[in-house]
Amino acid sequence: ELSALTANPPKNLHGYISNQGLPGARETVGRFLGDLYNHPIYPESVVMTSGAGGALNVVLKSILNPNDEVIVLVPYFVEYKYYIMNAQGVPVYCNLDENFQISVEEVASKITARTKGIIINTPHNPTGCILSRESIFSLGELLKEKEAEFNNPIYMIYDAPYTQLTYDGVENVNPFASYHRVIYASSFSKDLGLAGERIGFIAVDKEIEGHQTLISAFIFANRTLGFVNAPALMQNVLARLDQLVTEQEEYRERRDLMVEVLEEANFEFHKTQGGFFIFPKSPIPDDVEFCRIAVEKFNVLIVPGTGFGRPGYFRMSFSLPLSTIEGAREPLKALRNYFK
Amino acid sequence: ELSALTANPPKNLHGYISNQGLPGARETVGRFLGDLYNHPIYPESVVMTSGAGGALNVVLKSILNPNDEVIVLVPYFVEYKYYIMNAQGVPVYCNLDENFQISVEEVASKITARTKGIIINTPHNPTGCILSRESIFSLGELLKEKEAEFNNPIYMIYDAPYTQLTYDGVENVNPFASYHRVIYASSFSKDLGLAGERIGFIAVDKEIEGHQTLISAFIFANRTLGFVNAPALMQNVLARLDQLVTEQEEYRERRDLMVEVLEEANFEFHKTQGGFFIFPKSPIPDDVEFCRIAVEKFNVLIVPGTGFGRPGYFRMSFSLPLSTIEGAREPLKALRNYFK
C-alpha cells in the first residue's frame, strides 16, 4: 500500500480540510493521550479519522499486503474480522485465557512469517476486562522476539475507546512503553458519549520507525478509502475542548447495580473493569439457545457469546438508565432459575 | 458480498444511530431528489453515508465480486480508481468524446461479461460539463441491451454532487427515467458548501430489482467498512432543513469571470455548465510541464489533465473569491503568451 502513495495527485480545496485533520483537534488528541499515559504524543503524529472504524480500516489498509495475517484476540468485536478482510488481510484468532488476559504462549503459537499485526482492545468488548500490565508488557516482549526471529515488523494496533470509563482504579496501561511499534487507532466518541459523531484518531510515538511514511500512508488511505476526513464540525469542537468530560460516576453506579443484579441471580462472571459490557457464563453450553429463551420467555435482550467467537457466554450492556437495570432484576432471576 | 449479510450479528446501541441513517435525514434526501428530478424517491430507499466517498465505497463493496469490472469515463476523478480497487474490482477506462459527452460506441466496446457497473459523474469533475439527455438515455439503452446480451446485471452508479450549481439553464437529467438499475451515490456537502462535514447518501428507485437486498447490503457495508453511519449531528441538521440553499448566483458570477479571463488570454475550453471546475486545453501537449511552468514562473496553481487520465488539458477551480479570479487575469495572459 505504501507504494500507492507515489500515485497521489494534487486535489482542490473547496471547503475540505486537511486529510490529516485540524491541528487543534490533533493537539487535543495529543494532550489527551499524554495525560492518560504520561507519554508525549505530538500533533504531527496524529491523524483524525471517521471514528475508530475509520481509524482501524485506514491503519490496516496502510500496513497490510494481501494475505498478511493479523491476530485477533477472542472473544472479539466482530467488525475486526471485516476490517482485516477489507484490506485483503487474513484474521488469525487467538483465545484470551479464562481471565480474559493474554496468554503469551497462545499468541506465540499463532505468529508466522506473514504476521503483520495484532489488534488489542482494552477495556475489552465484549468482556469488560482491562488487559493487565503483565498482559501488555509480556506481549510487547514476545513481539520483539518474533520480529527478530522472522525479520519482519509486527504492529501492535491498539484500540482503547473506553479509557475514561474504568472502575475500581484499574490502570490503563501505556502501550507505547511496552513496545516500539504501537499504532493507536481508536475513538473519542464513546468516551464523550458522542459515538454517532464519528470522531476517531490514529496516533504513533514520534520515535516509531518510518514515522513520516506511516503518517503519509494513513493520510493517503484516509482519502482513498473514501473517509476523506473526520467530520469538520466535530473536529472544531474537539479543538476547542480543554477537558474531555465523561459520565464515569454515572457508569460506575450502573456497573455496580448490574453486578448486584447478576450476583443475586447467581450468574458467573468477571466484574467489569472498564466500558459498559459484562460477559457472564451461559448456564447451558448452547448460548444461542439461552439468549433465544431469554428474549422469548423473559423479555431479556442479551447477545450470545458465539457472535464474538466465544460460545458458552453472553454479553449484556449496562449503558442504560438505572431503572432499566433494576427492572431486569426479577426477569434475570427467573431466567437463571429456568435453567436450574 | 451479499452473502456476508448472513453473518451480521446484533449490536449494542450506545449513542449510535441506525446504520441506514435518521428517518428525517432520509426524508430530506428523498424530497431533494424528488424535487430535482420530478421522480419520487422514498426514505426507505435511502441510506445515509459518510460523504460521496463513503457512498461510492459502500455501493462498490456491496455489488462487486473480486475481478468484476467497473467502467470509468475519462477524464475522471482519480479516487474512483481507488474506490473500485478497494472492493477488489477492476477499473476499465473509457474516453468521453471531444465535447466530454458519452460515446455509446466507446462504452459498448468496453462492456464484457464481467462488467458490473459504470460510474457516471455529472456535473463533471474535472471538465465542468453536464452529461446531456442524449448521453444518459442512449447509455441507458445500451446497458439494457448489454444486460440482455450477457444475462448479467449492470448498475449505473450516479454521482452528481453539484446539481445545485448549474448555469445557463442546462438540465440535470433524471437518471432514474433512463434506466432501471440506477444507484445514486453522491453527497450534499458540496451543494451546501459543507464538503468537510461528510454527509452523503445512496438512493435507489423503489422498483429496482432486489430493492431490499440492495439496501440491506448497503447498510451492512456501511458498518463493516467502518463508516458505521453518517455523522449524527449533520444528519439531524439535514432532517430539520426545509430548503437546501446554495450560492448558485455567486458561483455563476465566478464562472462568468473565469470564462472572461480565460477567453481574453486565448485559452481553448468548454464553458463550465455545472460545478466549479473548468478544463482548458494546454497550449503544449505536455500538460505536466505546462503546469510546472505556470506555478514556477507565473504563480498560477493549476492541475495537469494527466492526473485525470486526459493529457493535454489542465483543470482550474473557480471556487474562489472574485478578486482572486480577477487577480489571475494578467498572469494567465502572460502564461499563455509565454507559449506563443
Q: Is B151 exposed, middle or buried (0-12, 13-18, 19+ CB in 10 A)?
A: exposed
Q: What pLDDT is attached to residue A195?
A: 53
- The pLDDT confidence band at residue A248, using thresholds 50, 70 and 90, is confident
Q: Please write the tens of the pLDDT for every residue from A266-305.
A: 999 999 999 999 999 999 999 999 999 999 999 998 999 9
List, in order, residues 6 or more apart from A217 with CB less than 8 Å away. A1, A2, A5, A62, A63
Query: How far is B197 from chain A, CA to nearest CA, in Å?
Result: 5
Position A179 in a domain: yes
Mean pLDDT, rounded, for A253-271: 97
Q: Are residues A211 and A261 in the same domain?
A: no
User: Would you call A30 an interface residue with chain B, using a CB distance cutoff of 8 Å?
Assistant: no
The answer to whether the CB of A156 falls within 8 A of the CB of A139 is yes
Please answer yes or no on whether A17 and B226 come within 8 Å at the CB atom.
Answer: no
Position B183 in a domain: yes
B277, containing H or E segment: strand B277-278
Chain A partners within 8 Å of B86 (Cβ) = 61, 86, 224-226
User: Would you call A246 an interface residue with chain B, using a CB distance cutoff of 8 Å?
Assistant: no
Please answer yes or no on whether B228 and A86 come within 8 Å at the CB atom.
Answer: no
Q: Are residues A59 and A208 in the same domain?
A: yes
Q: Is the pLDDT of residue A2 over 90?
A: no
Mean pLDDT, rounded, for A135-151: 97
Position A13 in a domain: yes
Tell me how crowded residue B313 is: count the other CB atoms within 10 A of its CB.
22
- Say which of B53, B196, B229 has its CB closest to residue A227: B53
Q: Is the pLDDT of residue A242 over 80?
A: no
Please answer yes or no on whether B231 and A196 come within 8 Å at the CB atom.
Answer: yes
The answer to whether the CB of B90 falls within 8 A of the CB of B67 is yes
Q: What pLDDT is attached to residue A4?
A: 35
Q: Are residues B202 and B283 in the same domain?
A: no
Q: Roughly what angle, to the nearest 10 degrees, separates helices A79-86 and B211-224?
A: 90
Q: Are residues A315 and A298 in the same domain?
A: yes
Q: Please write the tens of the pLDDT for every residue from A6-55.
A: 333 323 333 445 788 888 889 989 999 999 999 999 999 999 988 889 99
The answer to whether the CB of B296 falls within 8 A of the CB of B265 is no
Picking from A17, A22, A48, A50 by the largest number of B CB atoms within 10 A of its own CB, the best residue to mutate is A50
Residue of A nearest to B18 (CA): A196
Chain B partners within 8 Å of A57 (Cβ) = 225-226
- Say which of B57, B78, B232 has its CB closest to residue A225: B57
Q: Are residues A227 and A253 in the same domain?
A: no
Picking from A3, A81, A194, A224 by the largest number of B CB atoms within 10 A of its own CB, the best residue to mutate is A224
Position A1 in a domain: no
Position B3 in a domain: no
Q: Are residues A172 and A311 in the same domain?
A: no
Q: Across the strands, what pairs with B119? A: B72, B157
Q: In this structure, which amino acid lies at residue B124?
A: H
Q: Please write the tens of the pLDDT for every residue from B154-202.
A: 999 999 988 988 999 999 999 999 999 999 999 875 555 555 667 889 9
- Domain final residue, candidates A240, A263, A295: A240
A333, containing H or E segment: helix A329-338
- The pLDDT confidence band at residue A227, using thresholds 50, 70 and 90, is confident
Q: Are residues A77 and A208 in the same domain?
A: yes
Residue of A nearest to B22 (CA): A196
Q: What pLDDT is attached to residue B25?
A: 87
Interface of B with A in 77-116 (CB under 8 A): 78-79, 82-83, 86, 88
Q: What pLDDT is attached to residue A164?
A: 86
Chain B partners within 8 Å of A277 (Cβ) = 12
Q: Are residues B21 and B139 in the same domain?
A: yes
CATH number of the domain within which A120 lies = 3.40.640.10
- C-alpha cell of residue B136: 444518459
Please list, residue by residue across B118-148, b when 16 or more beta carbons sit within 10 angstroms of its beta carbon and e when fewer do: bbbbbbbbbbbbbbbeebbbbbbebbeebbe
Chain B partners within 8 Å of A229 (Cβ) = 196, 198
Q: Are residues B264 and B235 in the same domain?
A: no
CATH number of the domain within which B268 lies = 3.90.1150.10
- Domain final residue, candidates A240, A273, A307: A240
Residue of A nearest to B305 (CA): A9
Q: What pLDDT is attached to residue A9?
A: 30
User: Would you call A45 an interface residue with chain B, using a CB distance cutoff of 8 Å?
Assistant: no
Query: Which 8-state DSSP code applies to residue B102?
Result: -
Query: How far is A28 from chain B, CA to nearest CA, in Å?
Result: 19
User: Would you call A340 an interface residue with chain B, using a CB distance cutoff of 8 Å?
Assistant: no
Task: Tell me how far apart the alpha carbons of residues B274 and B276 are, in angstroms, rounded to a whole number.
Answer: 7
Cell 486535489 sits on residue: A11
Q: What pLDDT is attached to residue B228?
A: 72
- Say which of B193, B225, B233 has its CB closest to residue A57: B225
Q: Across the strands, what pairs with B62? A: none
Query: How far is B141 from chain A, CA to nearest CA, in Å?
Result: 31
Position A72 in a domain: yes
Q: Are residues B60 and B95 in the same domain?
A: yes
Q: What pLDDT is attached to residue A187?
A: 86
Please answer yes or no on whether B231 and A233 come within 8 Å at the CB atom.
Answer: yes
Q: Is the pLDDT of residue A89 over 70?
A: yes
Residue of A nearest to B14 (CA): A319
Please answer yes or no on whether A50 and B197 come within 8 Å at the CB atom.
Answer: no
Q: Is the pLDDT of residue A312 over 70?
A: yes
Task: Tell me how far apart the alpha carbons of residues A325 and B334 are, in angstroms, rounded to a whole number.
Answer: 74
Q: Are residues A329 and A208 in the same domain?
A: no
| Boundaries of domain holding B225 | 11-240
Number of domain units in chain A:
2
Q: What is the ipTM of this complex?
A: 0.73
Please answer yes or no on whether B86 and A225 come within 8 Å at the CB atom.
Answer: yes
Q: What pLDDT is attached to residue B326?
A: 96
- Domain final residue, candidates B223, B240, B257: B240
Position B164 in a domain: yes
Position B1 in a domain: no
Q: Are residues B76 and B188 in the same domain?
A: yes
Please answer yes or no on whether A88 and B86 come within 8 Å at the CB atom.
Answer: no
Q: Please write the tens of the pLDDT for every residue from A158-198.
A: 999 889 889 999 999 999 999 999 999 998 755 555 556 67
Q: Checking DSSP bridges between strand B69-74 and strand B115-121, what pairing results, if any?
A: parallel
Query: How far is A138 from chain B, CA to nearest CA, in Å?
Result: 30
Residues of chain B with pLDDT below 70 are 1-17, 189-197, 230, 232-234, 238-246
